[in-house]
Amino acid sequence: MRTVPKQNMQETPVLLQALQGKVTNRVPFWLMRQAGRYLPEYRALRQQAGSFLNLCFTPELAAEVTLQPLRRFDMDAAIIFSDILVVPLALGQKLDFVEGEGPRLGPLDTGSLRYDSSRITPVYDALSLVRRQLPPDKALIGFAGAPWTVACYMIQGYGDGAFESVVAAAKNNPAEFGMLVGMLTEATIEHLSAQIRAGADAVQIFDSWAGILPETEFSTWVIAPTRRIVAELNKRHPATPIIGFPRQAGYLYARYAAETGVQGLGADPSVDLSQLAAGVSPGICLQGNLDPGLLLKGGEELTAAAENILEAMRHRPFIFNLGHGVIKETPPEHVAALSAVIRSFRQ
């Protein structure tokens, strides 16, 4: 895998300017799960690939899926088409995706886990392909799941949103659980670093299940591992900004931003962005947080909600996004309408 050159200063995409703490003339945007089942062109490629993992691990197909939404909607960033569970796969845990049910992981044997990036090389090859095809004004985002969230799937073997067995394991066996989180922390550093070398301009850390932890455990299993990841990536790749997304963190969002060192902070729809902005450094770029249900619904309610978010974030570093991923039943026309609202807004 070769290192792909990044943009020069004259070509800095507007999304990266926002992540550098600048107030941009127009608001950049991308959407979580912007490449996916709501697009007919995605569904056609998914059928061609035969399985979700084949789609992820065929670089040409993964690159094409990554670029599809930009062709339709002129987003300011592409996010590589992959999955947070490629890290357990690289560690040696069995992974399948069952149609209609989602991920299924094999039994966890912590003692046998060894990180081997060669198991997921196609992810980096796809990044390099996208990088070569992206216009210079578009950014490329890599990503990984945060250690806590990935551990939830590795221990339970599937997702149910509660992960009671994982919460119990963290509470009752903190030393053993800490070994797994430590292993995941180092693996995540390597995975994100490889994505940056392959051409990612920024990376996002998805902590989708951060909100199920009480404050003490949040500090231990969410903030501390993320701080380690951010510090090491900042050392290796000082020009690459990092977005943290501790979903449903509530009043702990501001603490997460202050203590992890992320340059961007994604927020879910339950958070009032104006209140959040008052509690974080003005140099941190906020990202979010339109309710995906409103994008599904469309119409005047969608327009009003998007305009309210844009107005609330006027005159501060900001990236428009959803508070979670695009719902698969969302009409593409609604995404086009949202794009038009964002594009018409000026700071």
For 172-191, give the secondary structure using H, E and C: HCHHHHHHHHHHHHHHHHHH
Distance CA(135)–CA(123), nearest Å, equals 20
Residue 222, C-beta contacts closer than 8 angstroms, at least 6 positions apart: 146, 148, 207, 210, 213, 246, 249, 256
> Looking at the annotation, which residues are catalytic?
33, 37, 46, 83, 153
Cβ-based neighbour number of residue 321 at 10 Å? 27
Residue 75 has what DSSP assignment? -
Asked if residue 127 lies in contact with residue 140, where contact means CB atoms within 8 angstroms, the answer is yes
Token code pair at residue 21: 């703490």
Cβ-based neighbour number of residue 97 at 10 Å? 17
